[in-house]
Structure 1
Amino acid sequence: MLEALVAFGLVAFVLGFALPIVSGAAAQQARRLQDLNAAEFAVSLAEAYRATFPQMEAEGQDPAGWAWRITERSVAPDGQTSLDPVMRLVEVQITVWHIDRRAEPTTFSTLIARPRS
């Protein structure tokens, strides 16, 4: 009987340490998966925005619950170039968030070359 009690106490002691570690790792994994989903969604939005500009809406929501906002501004990170009369660089910032989750919105940015109009 004493051996069973000691074994039960030892198992409870080990589980008392292991359970918080495992649950913390699971929560961290869930956050990383949400970050990955946000990044993949932002990349797909950037590709669609580049391909359909200026027809794509700057804000919206998809059926899966993700929302986005796209802003852009002209930039010249390397100063003036010989292509400035025909091309311009724009920095596109894409902010994504999931409507049903309390996570902070995540902003991604990319540079796109556009012909001058």
Structure 2
Amino acid sequence: MERKHDLDTYKRFKKQHPAYFQAVETLGAVVRQTGPLDERSLQLIQLAAAAAIHSEGAVHSHTRRALEAGATPDDIHHTLLVLTSTIGFPTVMAALSWAGDVLESKE
């Protein structure tokens, strides 16, 4: 589960630097709109990137966002499983566990 400390740090930083967060959010919106990929695909790509950098919070976030964009639990599992030869078995297992936190809470 996401550590409370990480979430508190994020919220505090966002409150202290609103212009920075607005710029990051605007950049995210602009890059999503510049190409042909749909939101579901974009969220699955970002989920894979989050797993690759071992970011539990980002895996939680992009799992939720992928589901909201129409991805299924099978899509999420497959996205993470195909990373095995790239990021390694232990990292994939950790990411599957983190995604599972979100998937189990949706059931």
* TM-score after normalising by structure 1: 0.22
Structure with larger Rg: 1
- More helix, by proportion: 2
Which has the bigger relative contact order, CA under 8 A and spacing at least 6?
2
- More strand, by proportion: 1
